[in-house]
Structure 1
Amino acid sequence: MGISLSKGERVSLEKVAPGLEAVLVGLGWDVKKVDTGIDYDLDVSVFMLGSNE
């Protein structure tokens, strides 16, 4: 199952995938068509807590 989020969006994995045992986080972006001389700035955050089972 894949979920795509835009900037500022959030998802509760507990609600969309009860019993989830593994998570894979990917980061994608569109390549610039014209070189503007400006560097990319990519950010991604993942915050997860477990029950330490």
Structure 2
Amino acid sequence: MAISLQKGGNVNLSKEAPGLSKMVVGLGWDVRSTDGAAFDLDGAVFLLSNAGKVRSDADFVFYNNLKSVDGSVVHSGDNRTGAGEGDDETV
């Protein structure tokens, strides 16, 4: 199942995929083809406790912390250009 979101979009995964146990979030963008400043997207994940709180800095997975302590969340690393086809970063 693939869901493609645009800026401002959202999806309720509890309704759309109630049995979901694994997922990949992909960010894809293209190099700016007009005048203006270059831009970069960054994927990040916060792991929350049952109380809905982040327990420590280790529970923040992003380009500078590529893997959760238990290995359940993995970030592909930082792509700063958006060059190439498909997803430029995945988590």
TM > 0.5:
yes
Runs of 4+ residues deviating >3 angstroms:
43-51
Percent identity (aligned): 54
Structure 1: any 5+ residue segments left out of the alignment?
Answer: none
Which residue number corresponds to residue 33 of structure 1?
33
Which residue number corresponds to residue 13 of structure 2?
13
Secondary structure class of the residue paired with 1:32: coil
Which one has a larger percent strand, Structure 1 or Structure 2?
Answer: 2
| TM-score when normalising by structure 1 | 0.64
The higher-RCO structure (CA 8 Å, 6+ apart) is 2
Q: CA RMSD in A?
A: 2.7
Query: When the two structures are aligned, how many residues end up with a matched partner?
Result: 50
How far apart, in 2, do the equivalents of 1:50 and 1:3 lie?
26
